[in-house]
Each structure stands twice: as C-alpha cells, then as structure tokens.
Amino acid sequence: MTGPLQDWKGQRRPFAAIASLPVFWLALFFVAPMTIVWLYSFGQNAGPADIDISGTLDNYKRATEWLYLSIFLKSLAVAALTTLICLIVGFPIAMAITFAAPRWRPWLLLGIMLPFWTNLLIRTYALMALMGTNGYMNKGLGGLWEGASWLRTLVGMQPLEAWTPVQLLYNNFAVVLGLVYVHLPFMVLPLYSALDRMDKSLIEASLDLGAGHFKTFMKIVVPLAAPGIVAGVMITLIPALGAYLTPDLMGGTESQMIANVIERQFKRANDWPFGAALSFLLIYAMFILIALQSMRTNKSMERG
Amino acid sequence: MDFKTFLHAGSNRRAMLKGMGVAAVGFSLTGALAGCGEKDAAKLANGEEAKLNFYNWDTYIGETTLEDYMDKAGVDVNMTLFASNDELFAKLRAGNQGYDVIVPSNDFVERMAAADMLTELDKAQIPNFKNVAPDYQDVPYDPARKFSMPYTWLALGIGYRKSKVKSVPDSWKVLFDSDEYKGRIAVLSEAGDMFRLYGKYIGKSVNGLTDADLKTIEAMMIKQKPNIKSFHEDNGQDLLLKGEVDVVLEYNGDIAQAMVEDPDIGFVIPKEGSQLNSDNLCIPKGAPHPKNAHAFINYLLDAEAGKKITETILYPTPNDAAKALMPAEYKNNAVIFPPADILAKCEYAKFNPELQPKYEEAFTRVRAA
C-alpha cells in the first residue's frame, strides 16, 4: 500500500499532522477533565470547596450499596424499554423514508431532524402542556367522552358519568413516553443509513423466490440492517440511561433515574467525590459491555 | 393551560431554577468574558474604572435600575444571570472570574464565608445600611452583617386553590401526614428543605434535627409518598395555576405572583412555623472593582431605588425606607408580609455540611421506596 494516506504506517508524517489537532483537543478537553473527575472519585470533602484526594474507596463502597444499585437497574430497565419502543416505532419510519420517492426523502429526513432545532427543555415543556390534567390530550378525550355520553342519551340510555381527566403526567409512563419522543431521531437516522445502503434487488429476489413479505422482512431486511440496529440501539440506550431532565420534569414521585441522583451530588449535596464515583460506575459498566461485545465479535471472526 | 401560562412559567427567578440548568452551559462563558475585552473606560474619582460586573438571578432587578445607576454614578453595570445557588457556588469555587457583586441565599452566604470566598464589607461605604429593617441588620447566618447586605427575603408555606379546599390548610399535616388531598399535593424536591419542614411539623427546630429524627421523618415521607403527585422543581405556582394540584409547598413571593393572575389562589404559613430564606448582596474575593461594588450595593439599598426594584419583583423587601414608599396593597399584603406571630415561629436554616449529604441520601431512599 503506497497510495496517499491509504495506510498510516507508510505515511506517518501527514498522518501525524492531521491527527495532532484532534488528539490535542481530546486530551485537553476530554481526557484531562475526565481524569480529574476520576481522581475525585477516590477523594473526600475537606471543606465546602476543597476535595482531598486520599485514595479512599469509600465512595465506591457507598455507590455499590443496594439503594444505588437498584436505581441503576431501574434506570437500565427504563432506558431499555425506551430503546425497544424506539426500535419498534423507528424501523417502519426508516423503511418508509428509504422507499419514499427520491424527491421526498430530504423533506422526510428534515422532518425527523426538525425537533433538534428546538431546545430539549422547550420540547419537554410543550409535551407537558399537551399531557397535563387540563392539557390538550385530556381536553380532547373529555370532548369525545361527552360526545359518547350525548349519543347514549339520544338512544335513550343513561348518560355516562362525568369525565375524570386521565393521569398522563407525573408517572413512569410519562417518563418513557418523553424519552421515546426525545430519542426517536437517534434511532431512525442510523437505521435509515443502513437500510439506504441495502441492495433492494435482494428483496425482489426473495419475493420472486416465494418468500412472503413477513419472511422477507425477517430474513433479508433485518439481517442487512443489523449494523444500523446495533448502532441505533447503542446511540439511544446510552443517552437514555443518562437522562435527567425528562424524569425530573415529567416523572412522578418514584421516577428518579441514576442521572438525577448524580446531578444532586454535584449540586445540592455538594458531594463531588461521591457523584464522581457514581458517574464512573456507569462508565465502567459501559466499558465492560463494549469489551464483551468486541470479544464476541472477535470470536465469531476467528470462527468464520 | 393556555399559552400565556406556558410562557409565564419562565417569568420569575425561582421558576427558572430548574429550566435554566440546561442553559447554564451557555451562560458559563459570558462570565469569563465580562471582565475583559473592552477598551479602557474613564477612571472614576475612587481610582477604579467605571465598570461593575453584577451576577444576579433572572428577573430580580428593577426595570430601569441599571440605567438609573449609569445616569447617577456613571458606572456601566454588566449584569449576567445565574439560575441556582449551586450554579453560583460551582462557578466561584474555582476562583472569581471577575464578578464584583453576587446575590447568594442565606445558607450560601454561610457556605461561601466558610470557604473564604467573600470579602468583608466596609460599612462606612454603605451608609444606606440604615434603611435596612432592624430584624435584618443582624442575622444568625451572618452575625453583624460582616459579609452580606439583605436584598429580599422569602418564607415557605402552602399555596392552595380556595375553591378546592374545605378549609384553609394551615398545618403541614395537609402536605406531610394526611390523605385528604391524595394525588393533588406537590412538595419541593429539595431534600434539605423537606426534612427541615417535616422537622417543624414534628415540633423540632429546623437546625436541631438528629439522626433519629431523620429516620422518623424518612418513614413519614415514605408513608405519605402515595398521596403526593410530584416533587416539583420550585415551579409549584405553575402546577397550582394549571390545576395540576390543589395544595403545594412554595415560597410566598412565588404564590403572591400567581395570586395576581388567579384570585382563586391563596397562601398560608402553617401554624407550626416555617423556614425563612433571604437573598443577599455580597462581594466575592478577588472582585476587580471593590469600591464600585460597595457603591452599587449602597445604591440598591437606597429608598427610591429599592422601591423601583420591589415594584418589579414583588418580593418582600427588608428595606424599610423602600417599603415605606410602596402602596398599601403591597405593604398590607398578608402573603408578602405574613403576620408577626407566625413569623416569630419561622427560622433560617443553617448551612450544615454534615447533614446535607444525609438529607440527600435519605431523600433518595424515599424516592426509590
């Protein structure tokens, strides 16, 4: 390989020139701050604004108590459910965009990305305005209910009892719904890019050779979209696991997630060392997950 | 739930607490830029340039106060905003980036003084200190007003919808220990405030809670949790206005603003007493313009300037001279100025570095239960 920049080993100098700036950037603004927070996780408060890094493991001991582990597990369950719903809802959307007429595609993609142009906080408040006790959803449902009641009186039946608003906000349902709403674009975009690259003649071949639509979908489309699914799941699951605004604003009394607990350590509790330990526990877990995943990939490559 | 209410959600400083957390990153750069990059301004008689960096809560100053001060003293006040005491503390914890005057609440005055982050005030440069009500001239959180001047004060109490309650909910029992308003109650998500107010309910001082008390209170909170709709982020007045809840734990100033919009809303400080808060003007260590800072604090304590600030923000003012200039409907408003016998039972919460993490952990257990 002697082509220009085909292989960094043959072209060390240009490679170094290109890579130095991003590496410097990452080291200064990512590695250095993360290292400081990592060191904090082995420290203890020595005053309102001082942290003494003493190498203690107390923070980790506290962070692995059942109280915090149970919140971790609950957050993981909420994030996993959010990801699953995003996948189920997002796949047909990605398919629809892939198979839409080419001149429509940019507009449909724009529609998916449009919410990103609005601040997350504004979107969450809008959703809250929609779902509140006296929100538009409840008003709409109340209107339908009264309509049904009126129809019953027309045919001589007892009218329905008065409409009581449905409790949509301030519970776990609202948190999952809010998270799905926020994270759906993260799922649709990688799925779309995977589906878009798919050779569509394979679908035709499958259908021609007698497979049904469902079988074609399961045996051809889904396996070919697998890289997109994996990317979409990762890119949805991880931010959903770290969500704190949505559970704070839309959740009920039991909807706290691990990110809320971490946030409170850095703010109100002013216990940065413990907050750092909780954050790094999350990061260690991610590393282990990714390491397991890559070990599995290596094994299957060896076999193949 | 109309659009006006939605917009109003962000229109006072305590309602902004939560929301601005997200935007805080955006604001953090402005502070660093505040002190530099402008051409040399003319020197004042006191030898400082005609500039001042003021770090304040949102919507927490009179409409024309800064322009008025420019006209009077010729000092260009550059105001930047913070959304919570935590943000203010975190920003200054790493060193002062150029702020001259800041507005921390009482427990943070204590915390920052303990962390050696505040400059001692020179009272000779603040003659308007005489305008301050006697009750606020010497306070437990800052004895002899060494580091701070009072700006406003607040009391926690119960906001309620008059048409939805059987009688005035004048006891913490309604929020903390009863299913009378099941599913129509919202309380604060701030662990420290919650534990201290429960302490008031069981007859303790807000500063006298023991580990055994914390256990008792935790069990009470877990028992009451099914009756509570939401631990709100200091936006209780919005929940009340929208009809999400009918009784809510909130600050008197916030409910006073909601009452302007909706006459069906009331406010009461429970008979067991409550917790007071106060926001204060302080000069952080390393302020580039300390003399201007003293002069500006003196101006904010002026009767006429204080009146204009109070007219805009409608919070209780500790400035007697300014209060005297206010109309009767403000002075005699029992929500803004609760009766003296009730106030006598209210206390300031002391900054307590040992207890705060315990409050947080216990409240995390309550939420996880």
Interface A-B, measured as beta-carbon pairs within 8 A, has a size of 104
In chain A, which residue's Cα lies nearest the Cα of B193? A268
Token digits for A208? Answer: 């021609």
pLDDT of residue B12: 52
Chain A interface includes B192 (CB < 8 A) = yes
Structure token digits, residue B81: 């905003």
Average the pLDDT over A95-121 and give the result.
Answer: 91
**Which residues in chain B (241-260) have CB-CB distances under 8 A to chain A?**
242-244
Whole-angstrom distance, CA of residue B256 vs CA of residue B162? 14
Least confident piece of the model among A233-237, A245-249, B25-29: B25-29
Instruction: For residues A27-53, give the mean pLDDT.
Output: 90
pLDDT of A111 higher than 80: yes
pLDDT exceeds cutoff 90 at B93: no
Distance from CA of A263 to the nearest CA of B (A): 10
For chain A, percent of residues with pLDDT exceeding 90? 53
Task: Indicate if the pLDDT at residue B25 is higher than 60.
Answer: no
Judged by DSSP in three states, B251 sits in: strand
pLDDT at B329 over 50: yes
B110: distance to nearest CA of chain A, Å? Answer: 10
Query: Region B30-55: what's the mean pLDDT?
Result: 67
Distance CA A48, CA B110 (A): 10
Whether residue A187 contacts residue A86, with contact meaning beta carbons closer than 8 Å, is answered with: yes
- From chain A, pick out residues whose CB is under 8 angstroms from the CB of B117: 49
Inter-chain residue contact B86 with A267, CB threshold 8 Å: yes
Q: Do residue B19 and residue A121 have CB atoms under 8 angstroms apart?
A: yes
Q: What is the mean pLDDT of chain A?
A: 89
pLDDT at A73: 94
Contacts of B88 by beta carbon, 8 Å cutoff, 6+ apart = B55, B82, B102, B103, B104, B108
> For the ranges A158-162, A236-240, B279-283, B317-321, which has the lowest average pLDDT?
A158-162
A164 pLDDT above the threshold of 90: no
Whether residue B281 has pLDDT greater than 90: yes
A164 shares contact with chain B (CB less than 8 Å): no
pLDDT bin (cut points 50, 70, 90) of residue B18 is very low
**What stretch of H or E contains B79?**
strand B76-82
pLDDT tens by residue, B219-230: 999 999 999 999
Q: Do A268 and B23 touch (CB under 8 A)?
A: no
Could you tell me which residues come within 8 angstroms of residue A70 by beta carbon, excluding any fewer than 6 positions away? B368
Spatial distance between the Cα atoms of B169 and B265, rounded to a whole number of angstroms: 12
Q: Quick one: pLDDT band at residue B108, thresholds 50, 70, 90?
A: very high
What's the mean pLDDT in B277-289?
95
Could you give the C-alpha distances from B23 to A1, B28, B242, in angstroms and in order? 49, 9, 25
Residue B168: what pLDDT? 94
pLDDT digit string, tens, across residues B285-310: 999 999 999 999 999 999 999 999 99
Architecture of domain B154-276+335-368: 3-Layer(aba) Sandwich (3.40)
Q: Considering only CB atoms, which chain B residues are within 8 Å of A265? A: 360
Does the structure show a pLDDT above 80 at B51? yes
Assign B339 to helix, strand or coil.
coil
Element (H, E) at B277: strand B275-282
Q: Do domains B3-153+278-331 and B154-276+335-368 have the same CATH topology?
A: yes
**Which residues in chain A touch residue B22, judged by CB atoms under 8 angstroms apart?**
119-121, 245
User: Average pLDDT in the A186-196 region?
Assistant: 94
CA–CA min distance A175, chain B (Å): 13
- Give the Cα separation of A47 and B114 in Å (integer): 8
Instruction: Render pLDDT for B137-194 as a digit per residue (tens, 0 to 9).
Output: 999 999 999 999 999 999 999 999 999 999 999 999 999 999 999 999 999 998 999 9
Q: Does A61 touch chain B (CB under 8 A)?
A: no
This prediction's pTM: 0.83
Digit-coded pLDDT (tens) for B115-141: 999 999 999 999 999 999 998 999 999
- pLDDT for A303: 64
Contact present, B206 and B200 (Cβ < 8 Å): yes
The model's confidence at residue B42, banded by pLDDT at 50, 70 and 90, is low
CA distance A190 to A211: 27
Q: Say yes or no to pLDDT of B277 above 50.
A: yes
| Structural tokens at position A205 | 């071949």
The pLDDT score that the predictor gives to residue B185 is: 96
Q: Is residue B15 within 8 Å of residue B254, measured between CB atoms?
A: yes
Q: What is the pLDDT averaged over residues A24-47?
A: 92
> Which residues in chain A are contacts of B195 at CB distance < 8 A?
none
The pLDDT of B243-255, averaged and rounded, is 92
Q: Which residue in the set A129, A268, A270 is minimally distant from B1, CB to CB?
A: A129
Residues of B in contact with A271 (CB under 8 A): 356-357, 360
Distance (Å, whole) CA A1 – CA A8: 10
B251, burial (CB in 10 Å: exposed 0-12, middle 13-18, buried 19+) = buried
Residues of B in contact with A121 (CB under 8 A): 19, 22-23
Domains of chain A from N-terminus onward: 74-132+168-303 (1.10.3720.10)
Q: Do A253 and B225 touch (CB under 8 A)?
A: yes
- Work out the percent of chain B whose per-residue pLDDT is above 90: 69
pLDDT number for residue B56:
94
Domain spans of chain B, in order of start: 3-153+278-331, 154-276+335-368
CATH H superfamily, domain B3-153+278-331: Periplasmic binding protein-like II (3.40.190.10)
Give mean pLDDT, residues B50-70.
92
Specify the range with the lowest mean pLDDT, choosing from A189-198, B32-41, B80-89, B276-285.
Answer: B32-41
Residue A82 pLDDT level (bands cut at 50, 70, 90) = very high
Tell me whether residues A253 and B90 touch, CB distance under 8 A. no
Q: Which of B359, B352, B348, B176 is nearest to B274 (CA)?
A: B348
